[in-house]
Amino acid sequence: FKWSPESLLLISLFVMGAAGLLMVSNIRYYSFKTFRMDERIPFGKAAIPAIILGVLFLEPALTLFVLFTLYAAHGPLWALYRAVKKRHSHG
């Protein structure tokens, strides 16, 4: 992607620090253990994995980076959502 080494260093430091903090936090993540393959799903949801695989074959590095970044961000965002929802329900 023709990024400068300095920008890659900063991005790498941020990713390393964020990953380290998330590994020792109590933030919960979706584990995919509840995903059931025996249930029928709508076509729209069934097409999503096919689209992801198609994009993965076109741009593997970028696609994997985006997928892993979204997965890493969804834990803190979901925790923030639950905290705001809990605060509004009690207040």
Give the integer Cα–Cα distance in Å for 19 and 75: 12
- Exposure string over 41-63, b if 16+ CB within 10 A, otherwise e: eeeeeeeeeeeeeeeeeeeeeeb
Q: What is the pLDDT of residues 6-59, one digit of tens each?
A: 888 998 999 899 999 999 999 988 877 776 767 787 888 888 888 989 999 999
Please state the pTM of the whole predicted model.
0.70
What is the rounded radius of gyration, in angstroms, for the C-alpha atoms of the chain?
17
3-state secondary structure of 9: helix
Where do we find the tokens 């929802």?
Answer: 85
pLDDT value, residue 31: 78
* Confidence label for 91 from pLDDT (cuts 50, 70 and 90): low
